[in-house]
């Protein structure tokens, strides 16, 4: 095994293997719902809140 191969399996790489990818690209890849100006907050019991998207078709991939 070469030294270069063991560097890829370092503790920091295993803790976050997506560190070289921007968050926007990761959100586009999974078609996550964009909640920027697209959410409604509902107050639940015991001071919990629920955040619901207004338009579920507004994703990061459609911008």
Strands (E) in 1-63, as ranges, are: 39-43, 49-53
| Burial zone of 28 (CB within 10 Å; 0-12 exposed, 13-18 middle, 19+ buried) | middle
> Per residue in 14-27, pLDDT tens?
788 788 889 999 99
pTM of the model: 0.63
Of the two residues 2 and 22, the one the predictor is more confident about is 22
| Cα gap 50→60, rounded to integer Å | 21
* Residue 40 clears pLDDT 90, i.e. is over it: yes
User: What is the DSSP pairing of strand 49-53 with strand 39-43?
Assistant: antiparallel
| Cα gap 48→43, rounded to integer Å | 6
Of the two residues 17 and 29, the one the predictor is more confident about is 29
């Amino acid at each position: 095994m070469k030294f270069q191969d063991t560097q890829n399996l370092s503790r920091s790489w295993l803790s976050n293997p997506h560190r070289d990818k921007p968050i926007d690209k990761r959100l586009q890849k999974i078609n996550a719902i964009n909640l920027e100006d697209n959410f409604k907050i509902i107050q639940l019991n015991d001071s919990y809140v629920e955040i619901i998207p207004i338009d579920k078709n507004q994703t990061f991939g459609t911008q």
